[in-house]
Amino acid sequence: MKTISRKQEIITVASSLFNEKGYKAVSMRDIAKAMDIKAASLYNHIKSKQEILSEIILKVAEEFTNGMENVVNENTSAINKVEKVIELHIDITVNHSEALAALNNDWMHLEGDDLKAFIKMREDYEENFRIIIKQGIDAGEIKPYHPEVILFSILSTLRTLYVWYQKRGKLDVNILKKDMVSVLIKGII
Region from 2-10, 56-64, 86-94, 159-167 binding a copy of itself, contact rule CB under 8 A: 159-167
180 is a contact residue toward a copy of itself (CB under 8 A): yes
Q: Which of residues 63-122 bind a copy of itself (CB under 8 A)?
A: 105-106, 108-109
Q: Which of 8, 9, 20, 59 binds a copy of itself (CB under 8 A)?
A: 20
3/73 with CB nearer DNA: 3
Gap between the Cα atoms of 69 and 75, Å rounded: 12
156 is a contact residue toward a copy of itself (CB under 8 A): yes
Q: Which of 57, 59, 68, 67 is nearest to 130 (CA)?
A: 68
Question: Min. distance of Cβ 100 from DNA in angstroms?
Answer: 21
Region from 1-9, 50-58, 85-93, 139-147 binding a copy of itself, contact rule CB under 8 A: 139-147
Alpha helices for 74-146 (secondary structure H): 78-95, 97-105, 112-138
Question: Min. distance of Cβ 22 from a copy of itself in angstroms?
Answer: 6
- Cβ contacts of residue 37 below 8 Å, gap of 6+? none
